[in-house]
A = this chain, B = another copy of it.
Amino acid sequence: MSAVNRRIVLDRRPTGVPLPEHFKRDDQAMPAPGHGQFRVRNLLLSIDPAQRGWVNAGGNYSQPVAIGAVMRSLAVGVVDSSECADVAVGEHLYGWFGWQDFCIATPQDIVRRVDPLQAPLTAAVGVLGITGLTAYLALTKIGAPQRGETVIVSTAAGAVGSIVGQVARRLGCFVVGIAGSEEKAAVCKREFGYHEALNYKSGFNTAAVRARCPHGADVFFDNTSGAIADAVFPVMNLRGRVIQCGTAAEPVWDPPPAGPRRDREILVKRLRHEGFIVFDHLAEFPAVAATLAQWIRDGLLRYRDDVEQGLDRAPAALAGLYQGENQGKKIIRL
């Protein structure tokens, strides 16, 4: 075991998308767990769009990461030392272990205990982590799609969107994806359950969306905001539901960017537009993860991992998310 714990800390606070220049390495001596604590050796880091919000200054759902602190991140690791009665050496855990090789943690840092036999370990950090749980829970709780309804999804080929498509298809919906290239649109239809898919970088507007949604849209699973969402809103049907799950298309929100007001559309069509944060639903993680893991074992749910090797790749991997560079769930293997 190395005598050094490699760590990546927040060096400067970004106002928009975090870039590699906002982080720096700050290694420390190997820590040891105190009473009630345990030490996790990180195996896989989860790179998530939500991390932007965790480093921005304000207006978010959690306290921002402090300057000089290890970058907040979900990870899957294995316990290699424990002074905590509830946690055994050798256990695999999914939790708040940060951009570092080793984390001193307590039970409240655990999001889910991972059975490595349930599914491949990368799944634990992706499709069975907040990515898949977000897709499943936001779609079913806010979207509540009914058989035969049309579900439209932005960043459809992304880590969340690729699961949304398949879940919506399994629920009997007509599913339309919006992605950032012809290739990604093709993948949506070939692999991720989408009946139709559009490339938002070419000929994309409300008419194009309407053409792929012959019966309009009942549920809009929006990960982007911005011009993509503007094109979709007019296609929403009466009593449509808009799930705001991300805002990836707009780099800066302080102050908010301008766009067309939606209030009249919301009023006239009785739309419901609601925000979703998966951490409100922690209690449902084990049950939903078990459902999704069963679908994986039964060959009913496909997912793509986009794995890079090495802690130092984490900052660039995060920045790349907002450029649409990833193909599936971005993971850093340590």
Interface residues of chain A, those whose CB is within 8 Å of chain B, are 53, 59-61, 222, 225-226, 229, 238, 244-247, 250, 253, 255-277, 280
What are 19 contact pairs spanning A and B, CB under 8 A? Answer: A59-B264, A61-B268, A61-B270, A244-B263, A245-B267, A246-B267, A256-B264, A258-B259, A258-B260, A259-B260, A266-B273, A266-B274, A267-B276, A267-B277, A270-B274, A272-B272, A272-B273, A272-B274, A272-B275
Query: Are A260 and B256 in contact, CB atoms less than 8 angstroms apart?
Result: yes
From A245, A270, A271, A275, residue with most partner B Cβ within 10 Å: A275
Residues of B within 8 A of A264 (CB): 59, 225, 247, 250, 253, 256
Residues of B within 8 A of A259 (CB): 258-261
Our pick among B247, B269, B274, B276 for the contact of A275 (Cβ within 8 Å) is B269
Residues of B within 8 A of A269 (CB): 61, 275
Which residue on B lies nearest to A241, using beta carbons? B274
Query: Are A59 and B268 in contact, CB atoms less than 8 angstroms apart?
Result: yes
Residues of B within 8 A of A245 (CB): 267
Query: Are A225 and B261 in contact, CB atoms less than 8 angstroms apart?
Result: yes
Residues of B within 8 A of A260 (CB): 255-259
Instruction: Give complex CA distance A173, B59 in Å.
Output: 25
Query: Are B250 and A261 in contact, CB atoms less than 8 angstroms apart?
Result: yes
Instruction: Give complex CA distance A61, B274 in Å.
Output: 22
Query: Are B258 and A258 in contact, CB atoms less than 8 angstroms apart?
Result: yes
Q: A244-B267, A256-B261 are in contact. List 19 more A-B contacts (CB 8 A).
A: A53-B268, A61-B269, A225-B263, A226-B261, A245-B267, A250-B263, A250-B264, A253-B264, A258-B259, A259-B259, A266-B273, A266-B274, A267-B276, A267-B277, A268-B275, A268-B277, A269-B275, A270-B275, A272-B274
Residues of B within 8 A of A261 (CB): 225-226, 250, 253, 256-259
Knowing A222-B263, A261-B225, say if A60 contacts B268 (CB, 8 Å).
Answer: yes
From A245, A264, A276, residue with most partner B Cβ within 10 Å: A264
Residues of B within 8 A of A225 (CB): 261, 263-264
Smallest CB separation, A228 vs chain B (Å)? 11
Which residue on B lies nearest to A243, using beta carbons? B267
Smallest CB separation, A64 vs chain B (Å)? 12
